[in-house]
Structure formats: C-alpha cells, structure tokens
Structure 1
Amino acid sequence: MVKEQIKNIVFDLGDVIINIDVPLAAKAFAELSGQEATAVQDVFKDVEIFRKFETGTLSAAGFRAYVRELLVNPDWEDHLIDTAWNALLLDIPPKRIELIQNLRQRYRLFLLSNTSSIHVEAVNKILYQTTGVEQLQDLFEQVFLSYEMGVMKPDAAIYQRVLQEGTMQAHETLFLDDNADNIAAAAALGIQTIHVQKPFTILDYLADYVS
C-alpha cells in the first residue's frame, strides 16, 4: 500500500471504533429467557434473524416481535429486548475519536458498518457520554449502514455503492475492518485495506497518517 495515494479512509464500527463482544448478546437473551446461551445462538442462527435485521428486512419493531416469538416470551417489553441486543456493545476509547477528528484535517472519512437501528442509537449514546460528540454522522462525511442500504459486507455490492456514492477511487481509498472476509472482499475491488486485529487498534495502524 502506498500511503501517499490515500485520499479517503473508510472505517468499520465494531471492534474498530467501539469495542464489542458479540457472544454477550446471546448470553443476555439466554438470561432473559432462562435458556442456555448455545440454544439461543442456534435458534437465532437457524433463522438468520440478525442478518435480516442488519439488512433492513426486519424493522426494529419486527425484530423485537420475532425475538418474542422465537424465545416464546410474548410479554417482553421493548426495552428488555433492546438492552439484551445492546449487551454486545462495550466502550468507545476517547483516543480513537480524537484520532478520527485529527484525520479529518487530511482525509475524507467515511463509516461502513453491518449494523441495526437499535445498535446505532445505542452507539450514539455511548459516543456522546464518552466524548461529547452527539452522533456518528458528526465524525464522518458520510455514514453507510447496512440496514439502510439493504445489503451487508462482504457483498461486493456494498463496497461498490460506497465508492460510487462517495465519489471515491478504489486505489485512493483505505478500508479498516476487523473481519477477514470483509477485508478480502474490499481488496478484491482494488480498495486498500488494513485488517484490524487485537491487541492492535486504529491508534497503532494509523499512527503514520497523522504524523
């Protein structure tokens, strides 16, 4: 990768900007329903409920209704389901936000995330409580969210739309994601990539971009 070519930087959200722990959601739903976490995971996986929610096939209300049906708990209030679903969201280290704000002075910045409306609302609350930034849209030129786009990574179509709508050239664009499949799909289109892998963070990978 030639750093000097880069004009645009596209960030993933989970485990790139906000720390997450995906199994915590299944654990939270298991505790609510009195079932084993593995059983809950299997039920959700069989019907691809998260994929449907994160591609907009299910609305927030539809997602909640489906969860009630699948876990046979028709009386759960919305906030109980939202809290369980948001259990996987952890913290946003302020230094990552400071880095993004510094990068805005040199690059066009974008966000591309496989996510849902419930998660975005929760992330914005965490962002504001942690840094005083009101919403993700305040950090980026444009925010691309799978549930609004009707397609999710690693489908090539989502990257093509991002490049087109952002008027970006692939070879001038750097994409950071923690998922190897998502990285491979972007790289296949000529996008420059960084696979974010713990214990390293964007603070490590992008240190040279603000120096």
Structure 2
Amino acid sequence: MIRTLFVDAGGVLFNNINEETEFLARVADRHAVDRADLAWRAMAAARVYESGRKHVHQVFHRLVGGHSWSGRGILDTWWLDHTYMDCVRAYHDNARVLRELREELPDLTLALTNNEAEHWDRLKDEVYGHLSMFDVLCSSWRVHRVKPARAFFEEALSRCRTTADETLLVDDRLPVLRAGAALGLRTLHISTPDVLADRLRSLVHGHAEPTGVL
C-alpha cells in the first residue's frame, strides 16, 4: 500500500527551466558570455545553490564573471529573478490531481522532493502556492542534499517517518528514479506532464503497477 508520495517539481508541477527554456541563453546574452559554456557551468554549479550552500544569486554572480561570492557587481538580481519567472510554466492539471488525491486520501503523506534553489522555490510559491500542497518539504535546500544521492532519499524517508516500500517516487529523471528504486521505492516516470493525471490515482489506489526503470 502506498502511504507516501515523493513528488518532484520540475517536470511534474512546472517545466524544467535550465533544460527546457531560453533562461540560460538569455542570461548568457545579457552578459556577453558564450551560451554553451554558461549552460555547462550552470549545470555543474546547480548543486551549490540547490543544496543551500550558496544563494542562487551568488552562484550566478560568479557564473557571469564575478570574482567573489559577495553577490555584488554586474549581476542585476531583479532582472535575473524576473527572467527566471518569465520562463516558468506551471502544470495546473497536475496540481489539481494532487489536491484532489489529498481530499480522497487524507492519510496520504505528500512530500515535495525537488532539486531547486530556495529563493526560486519561494518565488514560484508566491505565484502558484505549490509549497502549501505538501505535508513535508524535502526540497534539496531543506535537507541539504541533492537527488539522486542515496542520502537524499534516506533523509526524506526519515523526515516523512515512512518506509521505501510504502513510498511512490514521482519524477521525470531516470537517474533519480533508478536511485530511488535501488532503495526499494516504487516509481512513476513522468515522461510527459500528462502522465501524472493519467496514472497517479490508479497507482495510489493499487489498481496499476508502478513504472519499471532500467
């Protein structure tokens, strides 16, 4: 029986900003840096702000040419945040499905298990209110670990006071799903946003088999 849902945000509740939008290209063009180089360095540095080690503004200050973590200098943080939010697209149907499932099964624990900067998670929450949908926040900035690390899932299970075999991991990334499956979590691969609405309810109610990951 599934008692807990581990739900990703990017790819499930929202689009993936760095991978699916022009956000990084727009940052590169504004600061006259190479698009491909900035994209590579931004992906490599993501865990620094996702884990909460540094504020995302500090990381991008370095990425576009700063020489310290001070956060001062050429980076216009208002522009950066505005550009980020301009690229966000919310999957409203998926949020609706989760809210309806919560009403049907009040004992089901919903945990947010996303990799994101705290600052941008909260900016999105101001507009879309997604954080209030969850009983437990296990965002990377909250647990100070980043998926697909084993320690991330162990900490999330501990915070939710649940076991792997009672937990369904809902995510769009196969490496994350494989890491969760290796710990015994059941998995649902969100290959496209509509998969959640099509399959989640039947999985939680035990009418379908979880997604296998290779």
Whether TM-score is above 0.5 comes out as: yes
Give the distance between the partners of 1:166 and 1:199, measured in 2 at CA.
25
Tell me which residue corresponds to 1:121.
122
Per the alignment, residue 62 of structure 1 pairs with 58
Q: 1:51 corresponds to which residue?
A: 47
Measured in 2, the distance between the counterparts of 1:189 and 1:166 equals 15
CA distance in 2, matches of 1:192, 1:95: 23
Aligned residues: 197
Assess if the C-alpha contact under 8 Å between 2:55 and 2:119 holds in 1.
no
From 181, 196, 200, the equivalent of 2:190 is: 196
2-side partners of 1:171 and 1:148: how far apart? 23
Paired residues of 2:17 and 2:84 also in contact (CA < 8 A)? no
Residue 177 (structure 1) shift: 0.4
Partner residue in 1 for 2:74: 75
CA distance in 2, matches of 1:14, 1:199: 10
- Answer yes or no: is the 8 Å Cα contact 1:8–1:108 preserved in 2: yes
Q: Give 1:38 deviation, angstroms.
A: 1.0
Q: Which runs of 5+ in 2 are unaligned?
A: 208-214
Equivalents in 1 of 2:113, 2:40: separation in Å? 27
* Native 8 Å contact 1:68 1:74 kept in 2: no
Paired residue for 1:132? none
Aligned 8 A contact 1:91 1:126 in 2: no
Contact preservation (8 Å) 1:29, 1:85: no
1:39 aligns to what? 37
Report Cα offsets for 1:39-73 as digits up to 9, x if no partner.
3223435xx322211111212453343245359x9
- Secondary structure at the counterpart of residue 75 of structure 2: coil
TM-score normalised according to structure 1 size: 0.82
| Residue in structure 2 matched with residue 141 of structure 1 by the alignment | 135
Q: Which residue of 2 aligns with 1:179?
A: 173
Query: How many Å apart are 1:85 and its aligned residue?
Result: 4.3
For residues 114-134 of structure 1, the C-alpha deviation after alignment (integer angstroms, 9 at most, x for no partner) is: 00022212221331xxxxxxx
Tell me, in whole angstroms, the C-alpha distance in 2 between the residues paired with 1:158 and 1:10.
12
Tell me if the contact between 1:179 and 1:195 (Cα under 8 Å) persists in the aligned partners.
yes
Q: Distance in 2 between matches of 1:42 and 1:174?
A: 31
The AA in structure 1 aligned to 2:10 is G
Matches within 5 A, 1:22-37: 22-23=18-19, 24-37=22-35
Q: Report the counterpart of residue 10 of structure 1 in structure 2.
A: 6
Q: Which amino acid aligns with 2:18?
A: V
Change (3 A) 1:207 1:114: same
Residues 15/74 of structure 1: CA separation in 2 closer, same or farther (3 Å cut): same
Provide the secondary structure at the position in 1 that maps to 2:187.
strand
Of 134, 158, 164, 1:164 maps to 158
Asked if structure 2 preserves the Cα contact closer than 8 Å seen for 1:13 and 1:112, the reply is yes
Matched, 1:93 2:91: yes
Question: Does the CA-based 8 Å contact 2:13-2:90 persist in structure 1?
Answer: yes
